[in-house]
Amino acid sequence: MSERIYIFDTTLRDGEQSPGYTMNTQEKLRLAKQLEGLGVDIIEAGFPVASEGDFEAVKQIAETIKNSEVAGLARANDEDIDRAWEAIKHAQNPRIHTFISTSDIHLKHQLRKNRDEVLKIAVNAVKRAKRYTPNVEFSAMDATRSDWDYLCKVFAEAIDAGATTINVPDTVGYAVPAEFGELIRYIRDHVPNISQAIISVHCHNDLGLAVANSIEAIRQGARQVECTVNGIGERAGNASLEEIAMILKTRKDKFDTETRIVTEKIYPTSKLITSITGVPVQPNKAIVGANAFAHESGIHQDGLLKSKFTYEIMTPESVGISKSSLVLGKHSGRHAFNNRVKELGYTLDDKALNLAFKRFKTLSDMKKYVYDEDIEMIIMDEIYKVPEKYKLLYLTVTCGNTTIPTATVKMEIDGTVYQDVGYGDGPVDATYKIIKRLVKTNSKLLKFSVSSVTRDMDAQGEVFVKLEEKGLTVTGKGADTDIIVASAKAYINALNKLEYLKKRHREDIK
Protein backbone atom coordinates (compact mmCIF):
# COMPACT_ATOMS: atom_id res chain seq x y z
CA MET A 1 0.00 0.00 0.00
CA SER A 2 1.33 3.46 -0.93
CA GLU A 3 2.47 5.71 1.91
CA ARG A 4 0.73 9.04 2.37
CA ILE A 5 2.64 12.28 1.81
CA TYR A 6 1.00 15.26 3.52
CA ILE A 7 1.01 18.51 1.56
CA PHE A 8 1.42 21.55 3.79
CA ASP A 9 0.71 24.63 1.68
CA THR A 10 2.25 27.89 2.84
CA THR A 11 1.28 30.03 -0.16
CA LEU A 12 -0.81 32.28 2.09
CA ARG A 13 2.00 32.76 4.60
CA ASP A 14 5.51 32.28 3.19
CA GLY A 15 4.31 32.85 -0.36
CA GLU A 16 2.62 36.11 0.53
CA GLN A 17 5.82 37.38 2.15
CA SER A 18 7.37 37.54 -1.31
CA PRO A 19 7.51 41.07 -2.80
CA GLY A 20 4.53 41.71 -5.05
CA TYR A 21 2.37 38.88 -3.66
CA THR A 22 0.53 40.69 -0.85
CA MET A 23 -3.17 39.75 -0.68
CA ASN A 24 -6.12 41.25 1.16
CA THR A 25 -8.45 39.21 3.36
CA GLN A 26 -11.00 38.43 0.65
CA GLU A 27 -8.30 37.37 -1.79
CA LYS A 28 -6.75 35.10 0.84
CA LEU A 29 -10.12 33.55 1.61
CA ARG A 30 -10.79 32.95 -2.07
CA LEU A 31 -7.41 31.27 -2.50
CA ALA A 32 -7.85 29.20 0.67
CA LYS A 33 -11.10 27.76 -0.73
CA GLN A 34 -9.27 26.89 -3.93
CA LEU A 35 -6.49 25.18 -1.97
CA GLU A 36 -9.09 23.18 -0.05
CA GLY A 37 -10.58 22.02 -3.37
CA LEU A 38 -7.09 21.22 -4.63
CA GLY A 39 -6.77 18.68 -1.83
CA VAL A 40 -4.13 20.38 0.31
CA ASP A 41 -3.83 18.65 3.72
CA ILE A 42 -2.73 21.67 5.74
CA ILE A 43 -3.21 25.32 4.82
CA GLU A 44 -0.86 27.68 6.65
CA ALA A 45 -3.20 30.65 6.57
CA GLY A 46 -0.80 33.30 7.87
CA PHE A 47 1.11 34.80 10.78
CA PRO A 48 -1.68 36.09 13.07
CA VAL A 49 0.48 38.28 15.29
CA ALA A 50 1.98 40.13 12.31
CA SER A 51 -0.95 42.52 11.85
CA GLU A 52 -4.66 42.94 12.44
CA GLY A 53 -5.26 42.24 8.76
CA ASP A 54 -3.35 38.96 8.88
CA PHE A 55 -5.15 37.94 12.09
CA GLU A 56 -8.55 38.62 10.51
CA ALA A 57 -7.64 36.71 7.34
CA VAL A 58 -6.48 33.66 9.31
CA LYS A 59 -9.60 33.83 11.48
CA GLN A 60 -11.97 33.92 8.49
CA ILE A 61 -10.13 31.10 6.75
CA ALA A 62 -10.23 29.00 9.94
CA GLU A 63 -13.98 29.54 10.23
CA THR A 64 -14.60 28.66 6.56
CA ILE A 65 -12.33 25.73 5.67
CA LYS A 66 -13.66 22.28 6.61
CA ASN A 67 -11.66 19.68 4.68
CA SER A 68 -8.10 20.88 5.34
CA GLU A 69 -6.27 21.60 8.56
CA VAL A 70 -5.68 25.32 9.14
CA ALA A 71 -2.36 26.33 10.67
CA GLY A 72 -1.32 29.63 12.23
CA LEU A 73 2.39 30.46 12.50
CA ALA A 74 3.84 31.63 15.82
CA ARG A 75 7.28 32.43 17.09
CA ALA A 76 8.27 30.55 20.23
CA ASN A 77 6.77 33.03 22.69
CA ASP A 78 3.53 33.26 24.64
CA GLU A 79 2.09 36.30 22.81
CA ASP A 80 2.50 34.75 19.33
CA ILE A 81 1.10 31.39 20.39
CA ASP A 82 -1.90 32.90 22.17
CA ARG A 83 -2.64 35.11 19.19
CA ALA A 84 -2.35 32.20 16.78
CA TRP A 85 -4.84 30.19 18.81
CA GLU A 86 -7.31 33.09 18.90
CA ALA A 87 -7.19 33.15 15.09
CA ILE A 88 -7.56 29.42 14.45
CA LYS A 89 -9.57 28.16 17.42
CA HIS A 90 -12.79 27.84 15.42
CA ALA A 91 -11.18 25.76 12.68
CA GLN A 92 -12.46 22.24 12.08
CA ASN A 93 -8.86 21.01 12.35
CA PRO A 94 -6.61 23.69 13.91
CA ARG A 95 -2.80 23.50 14.07
CA ILE A 96 -0.32 25.77 15.83
CA HIS A 97 3.02 25.95 14.05
CA THR A 98 5.72 27.37 16.32
CA PHE A 99 9.38 27.90 15.50
CA ILE A 100 12.76 29.07 16.70
CA SER A 101 16.23 29.05 15.15
CA THR A 102 18.72 26.33 16.07
CA SER A 103 21.83 27.19 14.04
CA ASP A 104 24.78 28.75 15.86
CA ILE A 105 24.77 31.50 13.22
CA HIS A 106 21.25 32.56 14.20
CA LEU A 107 21.80 31.98 17.92
CA LYS A 108 24.83 34.25 17.95
CA HIS A 109 23.83 37.01 15.54
CA GLN A 110 20.02 37.09 15.71
CA LEU A 111 18.77 35.60 18.97
CA ARG A 112 21.93 36.25 21.04
CA LYS A 113 21.20 33.23 23.19
CA ASN A 114 23.02 29.99 23.94
CA ARG A 115 21.87 26.50 23.03
CA ASP A 116 20.42 25.68 26.43
CA GLU A 117 18.32 28.86 26.43
CA VAL A 118 16.94 28.12 22.97
CA LEU A 119 16.16 24.52 23.92
CA LYS A 120 14.19 25.72 26.95
CA ILE A 121 12.27 28.28 24.86
CA ALA A 122 11.40 25.64 22.26
CA VAL A 123 10.08 23.19 24.86
CA ASN A 124 8.02 25.86 26.64
CA ALA A 125 6.54 27.03 23.33
CA VAL A 126 5.41 23.54 22.38
CA LYS A 127 3.93 22.98 25.85
CA ARG A 128 1.99 26.24 25.65
CA ALA A 129 0.66 25.42 22.19
CA LYS A 130 -0.27 21.94 23.41
CA ARG A 131 -2.57 23.52 26.01
CA TYR A 132 -4.73 24.74 23.13
CA THR A 133 -4.60 21.89 20.61
CA PRO A 134 -3.10 18.41 20.33
CA ASN A 135 -1.98 19.31 16.78
CA VAL A 136 1.34 21.12 17.24
CA GLU A 137 4.15 21.51 14.74
CA PHE A 138 7.64 22.61 15.77
CA SER A 139 10.16 24.02 13.29
CA ALA A 140 13.89 24.41 13.86
CA MET A 141 14.65 27.41 11.68
CA ASP A 142 17.93 27.20 9.72
CA ALA A 143 18.07 23.49 10.51
CA THR A 144 20.44 22.70 7.64
CA ARG A 145 23.15 24.93 9.12
CA SER A 146 22.59 23.65 12.67
CA ASP A 147 24.77 21.17 14.56
CA TRP A 148 23.10 17.84 13.82
CA ASP A 149 23.35 16.42 17.34
CA TYR A 150 21.97 19.60 18.90
CA LEU A 151 19.19 19.61 16.30
CA CYS A 152 18.27 16.03 17.22
CA LYS A 153 18.25 16.95 20.92
CA VAL A 154 15.86 19.87 20.29
CA PHE A 155 13.56 17.67 18.20
CA ALA A 156 13.51 14.91 20.82
CA GLU A 157 12.53 17.29 23.61
CA ALA A 158 9.97 19.06 21.39
CA ILE A 159 8.31 15.69 20.73
CA ASP A 160 8.36 14.89 24.47
CA ALA A 161 6.70 18.26 25.05
CA GLY A 162 3.88 17.32 22.66
CA ALA A 163 4.92 18.18 19.08
CA THR A 164 3.27 15.82 16.59
CA THR A 165 5.15 17.19 13.57
CA ILE A 166 8.78 18.26 13.53
CA ASN A 167 9.85 20.41 10.60
CA VAL A 168 13.33 20.58 9.08
CA PRO A 169 13.60 23.90 7.21
CA ASP A 170 16.34 24.65 4.72
CA THR A 171 15.62 28.29 5.50
CA VAL A 172 18.25 29.84 3.23
CA GLY A 173 18.27 27.17 0.51
CA TYR A 174 21.80 26.07 1.43
CA ALA A 175 21.53 22.29 1.27
CA VAL A 176 22.16 19.99 -1.69
CA PRO A 177 20.07 16.82 -2.12
CA ALA A 178 22.56 14.20 -0.93
CA GLU A 179 23.41 16.25 2.15
CA PHE A 180 19.77 17.01 2.94
CA GLY A 181 18.77 13.38 2.53
CA GLU A 182 21.57 12.37 4.87
CA LEU A 183 20.31 14.87 7.48
CA ILE A 184 16.79 13.41 7.34
CA ARG A 185 18.21 9.92 7.73
CA TYR A 186 20.37 11.11 10.65
CA ILE A 187 17.31 12.56 12.39
CA ARG A 188 15.43 9.28 11.95
CA ASP A 189 18.35 7.36 13.47
CA HIS A 190 19.24 9.75 16.31
CA VAL A 191 15.94 11.11 17.63
CA PRO A 192 14.79 8.26 19.91
CA ASN A 193 11.09 9.22 19.93
CA ILE A 194 10.88 10.15 16.23
CA SER A 195 8.21 7.49 15.64
CA GLN A 196 5.81 9.70 17.62
CA ALA A 197 5.97 12.54 15.07
CA ILE A 198 5.84 13.15 11.36
CA ILE A 199 9.01 14.50 9.77
CA SER A 200 8.30 17.57 7.65
CA VAL A 201 10.59 19.57 5.35
CA HIS A 202 10.44 23.20 4.24
CA CYS A 203 12.92 23.93 1.46
CA HIS A 204 13.83 27.26 -0.11
CA ASN A 205 15.03 27.66 -3.67
CA ASP A 206 18.07 29.95 -3.38
CA LEU A 207 20.22 27.44 -5.28
CA GLY A 208 17.31 26.10 -7.36
CA LEU A 209 17.20 22.88 -5.32
CA ALA A 210 14.04 23.24 -3.23
CA VAL A 211 12.08 20.55 -5.08
CA ALA A 212 15.08 18.23 -5.43
CA ASN A 213 15.80 18.50 -1.70
CA SER A 214 12.15 17.88 -0.82
CA ILE A 215 12.00 14.79 -3.02
CA GLU A 216 15.20 13.41 -1.52
CA ALA A 217 13.77 14.02 1.95
CA ILE A 218 10.68 11.99 1.01
CA ARG A 219 12.97 9.22 -0.19
CA GLN A 220 14.66 9.24 3.23
CA GLY A 221 11.45 9.12 5.25
CA ALA A 222 9.93 12.62 5.44
CA ARG A 223 6.16 12.41 5.15
CA GLN A 224 5.14 16.06 5.04
CA VAL A 225 6.31 18.61 2.47
CA GLU A 226 5.85 22.34 2.94
CA CYS A 227 5.47 24.07 -0.39
CA THR A 228 3.69 26.80 -2.34
CA VAL A 229 1.75 27.02 -5.59
CA ASN A 230 3.95 28.37 -8.40
CA GLY A 231 6.88 28.03 -5.98
CA ILE A 232 6.38 31.58 -4.69
CA GLY A 233 7.97 32.69 -1.44
CA GLU A 234 10.83 34.56 0.19
CA ARG A 235 13.73 35.47 -2.12
CA ALA A 236 13.93 32.75 -4.82
CA GLY A 237 10.81 31.03 -3.50
CA ASN A 238 9.79 27.72 -1.95
CA ALA A 239 9.45 24.19 -3.21
CA SER A 240 6.75 24.15 -5.86
CA LEU A 241 3.58 22.29 -4.88
CA GLU A 242 2.70 21.39 -8.46
CA GLU A 243 6.17 19.96 -9.13
CA ILE A 244 6.15 17.88 -5.93
CA ALA A 245 2.67 16.52 -6.67
CA MET A 246 3.39 15.65 -10.30
CA ILE A 247 6.80 14.09 -9.57
CA LEU A 248 5.16 11.73 -7.09
CA LYS A 249 2.30 10.98 -9.49
CA THR A 250 4.37 10.61 -12.67
CA ARG A 251 7.24 8.65 -11.10
CA LYS A 252 5.23 6.27 -8.96
CA ASP A 253 7.74 3.62 -10.02
CA LYS A 254 10.33 5.41 -7.88
CA PHE A 255 8.11 6.62 -5.04
CA ASP A 256 5.46 4.31 -3.68
CA THR A 257 3.59 7.27 -2.22
CA GLU A 258 0.38 9.20 -2.77
CA THR A 259 -1.08 12.62 -1.98
CA ARG A 260 -4.60 14.00 -1.78
CA ILE A 261 -3.88 16.57 -4.46
CA VAL A 262 -6.50 16.72 -7.21
CA THR A 263 -3.95 17.34 -9.93
CA GLU A 264 -6.57 18.46 -12.47
CA LYS A 265 -7.02 21.58 -10.30
CA ILE A 266 -3.33 22.53 -10.34
CA TYR A 267 -3.43 24.81 -13.37
CA PRO A 268 -6.63 26.66 -12.34
CA THR A 269 -5.05 27.27 -8.91
CA SER A 270 -1.89 28.61 -10.52
CA LYS A 271 -3.95 30.93 -12.73
CA LEU A 272 -5.92 32.15 -9.71
CA ILE A 273 -2.74 33.26 -7.95
CA THR A 274 -1.62 35.06 -11.08
CA SER A 275 -5.03 36.72 -11.33
CA ILE A 276 -5.00 37.85 -7.69
CA THR A 277 -1.40 39.09 -7.54
CA GLY A 278 -0.88 40.19 -11.13
CA VAL A 279 2.50 38.41 -11.14
CA PRO A 280 2.81 36.07 -14.14
CA VAL A 281 4.45 32.65 -14.13
CA GLN A 282 7.63 32.36 -16.19
CA PRO A 283 6.81 30.72 -19.55
CA ASN A 284 9.22 27.80 -19.04
CA LYS A 285 8.01 27.02 -15.51
CA ALA A 286 7.49 23.28 -15.07
CA ILE A 287 3.89 22.01 -15.03
CA VAL A 288 2.08 25.39 -15.17
CA GLY A 289 4.22 27.58 -17.45
CA ALA A 290 2.83 28.68 -20.82
CA ASN A 291 5.41 26.52 -22.60
CA ALA A 292 5.06 23.43 -20.36
CA PHE A 293 2.91 21.67 -22.97
CA ALA A 294 3.81 23.74 -26.02
CA HIS A 295 5.93 22.36 -28.88
CA GLU A 296 7.56 24.24 -31.75
CA SER A 297 10.38 21.96 -32.89
CA GLY A 298 9.41 20.19 -36.10
CA ILE A 299 10.84 16.88 -34.84
CA HIS A 300 8.88 17.14 -31.59
CA GLN A 301 5.68 18.16 -33.36
CA ASP A 302 5.96 15.26 -35.79
CA GLY A 303 6.49 12.78 -32.95
CA LEU A 304 3.68 14.27 -30.87
CA LEU A 305 1.21 13.99 -33.75
CA LYS A 306 2.08 10.31 -34.07
CA SER A 307 1.97 9.57 -30.34
CA LYS A 308 1.57 11.91 -27.36
CA PHE A 309 4.03 9.86 -25.34
CA THR A 310 6.96 10.62 -27.62
CA TYR A 311 7.52 14.02 -26.04
CA GLU A 312 5.07 14.31 -23.12
CA ILE A 313 5.58 12.37 -19.89
CA MET A 314 2.22 13.54 -18.49
CA THR A 315 -0.93 14.75 -20.15
CA PRO A 316 -1.89 18.43 -20.01
CA GLU A 317 -5.37 17.31 -18.93
CA SER A 318 -3.86 15.73 -15.80
CA VAL A 319 -2.94 19.19 -14.46
CA GLY A 320 -6.04 21.00 -15.70
CA ILE A 321 -4.83 22.27 -19.07
CA SER A 322 -7.23 21.52 -21.92
CA LYS A 323 -4.66 20.25 -24.42
CA SER A 324 -1.11 20.50 -25.74
CA SER A 325 -0.35 23.25 -28.19
CA LEU A 326 1.72 23.03 -31.34
CA VAL A 327 3.25 26.47 -31.64
CA LEU A 328 3.83 27.21 -35.28
CA GLY A 329 7.06 29.05 -36.00
CA LYS A 330 10.22 28.79 -38.02
CA HIS A 331 11.14 25.45 -36.37
CA SER A 332 7.85 23.79 -37.28
CA GLY A 333 7.68 21.11 -39.94
CA ARG A 334 5.33 20.29 -42.80
CA HIS A 335 3.46 17.66 -40.78
CA ALA A 336 2.48 20.10 -38.03
CA PHE A 337 1.57 22.78 -40.57
CA ASN A 338 -0.69 20.41 -42.50
CA ASN A 339 -2.30 19.25 -39.26
CA ARG A 340 -3.15 22.85 -38.33
CA VAL A 341 -4.51 23.50 -41.83
CA LYS A 342 -6.86 20.52 -41.44
CA GLU A 343 -7.93 21.70 -37.97
CA LEU A 344 -8.90 25.00 -39.56
CA GLY A 345 -11.15 23.12 -41.98
CA TYR A 346 -9.07 23.17 -45.18
CA THR A 347 -7.93 20.22 -47.27
CA LEU A 348 -5.02 20.95 -49.60
CA ASP A 349 -3.47 18.72 -52.24
CA ASP A 350 0.31 18.26 -52.22
CA LYS A 351 0.97 21.10 -54.65
CA ALA A 352 -1.18 23.57 -52.72
CA LEU A 353 0.25 22.40 -49.40
CA ASN A 354 3.82 22.90 -50.62
CA LEU A 355 2.97 26.39 -51.87
CA ALA A 356 1.27 27.34 -48.58
CA PHE A 357 4.08 25.82 -46.50
CA LYS A 358 6.69 27.80 -48.41
CA ARG A 359 4.79 31.03 -47.72
CA PHE A 360 4.41 29.97 -44.08
CA LYS A 361 8.17 29.48 -43.73
CA THR A 362 8.82 32.91 -45.21
CA LEU A 363 6.35 34.46 -42.80
CA SER A 364 7.73 32.58 -39.78
CA ASP A 365 11.18 34.06 -40.42
CA MET A 366 9.61 37.50 -40.10
CA LYS A 367 7.60 37.04 -36.88
CA LYS A 368 7.91 35.02 -33.66
CA TYR A 369 4.54 33.29 -33.85
CA VAL A 370 2.33 32.39 -36.77
CA TYR A 371 -1.32 32.39 -35.73
CA ASP A 372 -4.37 30.68 -37.21
CA GLU A 373 -5.39 33.98 -38.77
CA ASP A 374 -2.03 34.13 -40.58
CA ILE A 375 -2.48 30.61 -41.95
CA GLU A 376 -6.00 31.38 -43.14
CA MET A 377 -4.72 34.46 -44.94
CA ILE A 378 -1.99 32.42 -46.60
CA ILE A 379 -4.55 29.89 -47.82
CA MET A 380 -6.99 32.50 -49.03
CA ASP A 381 -4.35 34.71 -50.69
CA GLU A 382 -2.11 32.03 -52.16
CA ILE A 383 -4.31 29.00 -52.74
CA TYR A 384 -7.91 30.03 -53.24
CA LYS A 385 -7.31 33.49 -54.73
CA VAL A 386 -10.53 34.87 -53.32
CA PRO A 387 -12.33 37.07 -55.88
CA GLU A 388 -13.35 40.57 -54.79
CA LYS A 389 -17.12 40.48 -54.84
CA TYR A 390 -17.10 43.59 -52.63
CA LYS A 391 -14.83 46.61 -53.18
CA LEU A 392 -14.45 49.79 -51.15
CA LEU A 393 -14.56 52.87 -53.40
CA TYR A 394 -15.08 55.74 -50.98
CA LEU A 395 -15.32 56.34 -47.24
CA THR A 396 -15.77 59.52 -45.26
CA VAL A 397 -16.43 59.80 -41.54
CA THR A 398 -17.31 62.69 -39.24
CA CYS A 399 -16.97 62.24 -35.49
CA GLY A 400 -15.94 64.00 -32.31
CA ASN A 401 -16.94 64.52 -28.68
CA THR A 402 -19.84 66.83 -29.70
CA THR A 403 -20.82 65.12 -32.96
CA ILE A 404 -22.81 61.97 -33.67
CA PRO A 405 -20.43 59.64 -35.58
CA THR A 406 -21.56 59.55 -39.20
CA ALA A 407 -20.14 57.53 -42.09
CA THR A 408 -20.70 57.65 -45.83
CA VAL A 409 -19.65 54.54 -47.74
CA LYS A 410 -19.51 53.90 -51.48
CA MET A 411 -18.94 50.29 -52.58
CA GLU A 412 -18.87 48.21 -55.72
CA ILE A 413 -20.81 44.96 -55.37
CA ASP A 414 -20.63 42.56 -58.32
CA GLY A 415 -19.81 45.48 -60.62
CA THR A 416 -22.64 47.75 -59.42
CA VAL A 417 -21.94 50.87 -57.35
CA TYR A 418 -23.91 51.48 -54.14
CA GLN A 419 -23.73 54.28 -51.58
CA ASP A 420 -25.28 54.83 -48.15
CA VAL A 421 -24.92 57.00 -45.05
CA GLY A 422 -25.62 56.23 -41.41
CA TYR A 423 -24.81 56.66 -37.74
CA GLY A 424 -23.15 54.58 -35.06
CA ASP A 425 -21.72 54.58 -31.53
CA GLY A 426 -18.33 55.42 -32.99
CA PRO A 427 -16.69 55.89 -36.39
CA VAL A 428 -15.92 52.18 -36.85
CA ASP A 429 -19.39 51.15 -35.69
CA ALA A 430 -21.01 53.62 -38.12
CA THR A 431 -18.83 52.36 -40.99
CA TYR A 432 -19.54 48.69 -40.24
CA LYS A 433 -23.28 49.23 -39.94
CA ILE A 434 -23.43 50.77 -43.43
CA ILE A 435 -21.23 48.09 -44.99
CA LYS A 436 -23.37 45.41 -43.37
CA ARG A 437 -26.50 47.07 -44.74
CA LEU A 438 -25.10 47.41 -48.26
CA VAL A 439 -23.82 43.83 -48.37
CA LYS A 440 -26.87 42.39 -46.57
CA THR A 441 -24.74 40.05 -44.48
CA ASN A 442 -25.95 38.05 -41.47
CA SER A 443 -22.43 37.43 -40.21
CA LYS A 444 -21.36 38.18 -36.63
CA LEU A 445 -18.23 40.10 -35.71
CA LEU A 446 -16.30 37.86 -33.29
CA LYS A 447 -13.02 39.74 -33.03
CA PHE A 448 -11.64 43.18 -33.80
CA SER A 449 -8.05 44.20 -33.07
CA VAL A 450 -5.77 47.06 -34.10
CA SER A 451 -1.98 47.13 -34.09
CA SER A 452 0.68 49.48 -35.35
CA VAL A 453 2.73 48.24 -38.29
CA THR A 454 5.23 51.09 -38.21
CA ARG A 455 6.40 53.62 -35.64
CA ASP A 456 5.78 57.32 -34.97
CA MET A 457 2.63 59.44 -35.28
CA ASP A 458 2.14 58.62 -38.97
CA ALA A 459 2.30 54.89 -38.33
CA GLN A 460 0.37 52.54 -40.57
CA GLY A 461 -2.32 50.71 -38.65
CA GLU A 462 -3.26 47.09 -39.25
CA VAL A 463 -6.72 45.81 -38.37
CA PHE A 464 -7.74 42.17 -37.93
CA VAL A 465 -11.34 41.03 -37.78
CA LYS A 466 -12.97 37.63 -37.39
CA LEU A 467 -16.46 36.91 -38.74
CA GLU A 468 -18.77 33.93 -38.33
CA GLU A 469 -21.88 32.84 -40.19
CA LYS A 470 -23.61 29.46 -39.92
CA GLY A 471 -20.49 27.69 -38.68
CA LEU A 472 -18.13 29.28 -41.20
CA THR A 473 -15.40 31.44 -39.66
CA VAL A 474 -13.07 33.77 -41.54
CA THR A 475 -10.55 36.48 -40.74
CA GLY A 476 -9.87 39.68 -42.58
CA LYS A 477 -6.97 42.09 -42.59
CA GLY A 478 -6.68 45.71 -43.66
CA ALA A 479 -3.88 48.26 -43.41
CA ASP A 480 -3.86 52.02 -43.83
CA THR A 481 -2.52 55.15 -42.14
CA ASP A 482 -6.18 55.89 -41.35
CA ILE A 483 -7.47 53.36 -38.80
CA ILE A 484 -11.09 53.77 -39.95
CA VAL A 485 -10.13 53.01 -43.55
CA ALA A 486 -8.04 50.03 -42.35
CA SER A 487 -11.07 48.80 -40.39
CA ALA A 488 -13.30 49.02 -43.46
CA LYS A 489 -10.73 47.18 -45.60
CA ALA A 490 -10.42 44.40 -43.01
CA TYR A 491 -14.20 43.98 -42.77
CA ILE A 492 -14.65 43.84 -46.55
CA ASN A 493 -11.69 41.47 -46.88
CA ALA A 494 -13.37 39.11 -44.43
CA LEU A 495 -16.74 39.44 -46.18
CA ASN A 496 -15.15 38.46 -49.50
CA LYS A 497 -13.64 35.37 -47.89
CA LEU A 498 -16.91 34.47 -46.25
CA GLU A 499 -18.80 34.78 -49.53
CA TYR A 500 -16.20 32.59 -51.23
CA LEU A 501 -16.42 29.89 -48.54
CA LYS A 502 -20.23 29.94 -48.65
CA LYS A 503 -20.09 29.39 -52.40
CA ARG A 504 -17.62 26.52 -52.02
CA HIS A 505 -19.75 25.02 -49.30
CA ARG A 506 -22.84 25.08 -51.52
CA GLU A 507 -20.86 23.43 -54.33
CA ASP A 508 -19.59 20.71 -51.98
CA ILE A 509 -23.16 19.90 -50.94
CA LYS A 510 -24.16 19.51 -54.57
- Asked if the structure places residue 289 within a domain, the reply is no
Render pLDDT for 447-502 as a digit per residue (tens, 0 to 9).
898 886 555 545 567 888 989 998 888 888 888 888 999 999 999 999 998 888 88
CB 469 within 8 A of CB 502: yes
- Asked if the structure places residue 282 within a domain, the reply is no
State whether 375 and 434 are in the same domain. no
Domain end point (choices 341, 359, 384): 384
- Asked if the structure places residue 52 within a domain, the reply is yes
CATH number of residue 27's parent domain: 3.20.20.70
Domain region containing 179? 3-277
Cβ neighbours of residue 310 closer than 8 Å, sequence gap 6 or more: 300, 303, 304
Distance of CA 85 to the CA centre of its chain: 33
State whether 62 and 171 are in the same domain. yes
- Asked if the structure places residue 115 within a domain, the reply is yes
User: What are the Cα distances from residue 473, in Å, to 288, 373, 394?
Assistant: 31, 10, 27
Please list the residues that pair with 423 across neighbouring strands. 406
State whether 75 and 28 are in the same domain. yes
Question: pLDDT category, 436, cuts 50, 70, 90?
Answer: very high
Is the pLDDT at 175 greater than 60? The verdict is yes
Rounded-to-integer distance, Cα 440 and Cα 418, Å: 12
Comparing 53 with 352, the larger pLDDT belongs to 53
CB 89 within 8 A of CB 72: no
State whether 157 and 184 are in the same domain. yes
Question: pLDDT category, 429, cuts 50, 70, 90?
Answer: very high
Q: Nearest CA to 406 among 387, 381, 379, 425? A: 425
Rounded-to-integer distance, Cα 376 and Cα 360, Å: 11
- What pLDDT was estimated at residue 378? 77
Render pLDDT for 488-506 as a digit per residue (tens, 0 to 9).
999 999 999 888 888 877 7
Render pLDDT for 364-404 as a digit per residue (tens, 0 to 9).
777 666 776 677 777 766 666 678 899 999 999 999 888 99
State whether 336 and 477 are in the same domain. no
- pTM of this prediction? 0.71
State whether 183 and 56 are in the same domain. yes
Overall domain count for the chain: 3
Question: pLDDT category, 263, cuts 50, 70, 90?
Answer: very high
CATH number of residue 464's parent domain: 3.30.160.270
State whether 233 and 107 are in the same domain. yes
- Asked if the structure places residue 284 within a domain, the reply is no
Is the pLDDT at 428 greater than 90? The verdict is yes
Domain end point (choices 355, 384, 413): 384
State whether 240 and 348 are in the same domain. no
- What pLDDT was estimated at residue 160? 98
Q: Nearest CA to 140 among 108, 109, 167? A: 167
Is the pLDDT at 278 greater than 90? The verdict is no
State whether 59 and 135 are in the same domain. yes
State whether 394 and 411 are in the same domain. yes
State whether 109 and 255 are in the same domain. yes
Domain end point (choices 363, 384, 405): 384
- Asked if the structure places residue 42 within a domain, the reply is yes
- Asked if the structure places residue 72 within a domain, the reply is yes
- Asked if the structure places residue 283 within a domain, the reply is no
Average pLDDT over residues 207-211: 98
State whether 91 and 138 are in the same domain. yes
- What pLDDT was estimated at residue 340? 76
Number of H helices, E strands in the chain: 16, 18
Is the pLDDT at 95 greater than 80? The verdict is yes
**For the ranges 60-69, 316-325, 368-377, which has the lowest average pLDDT?**
368-377
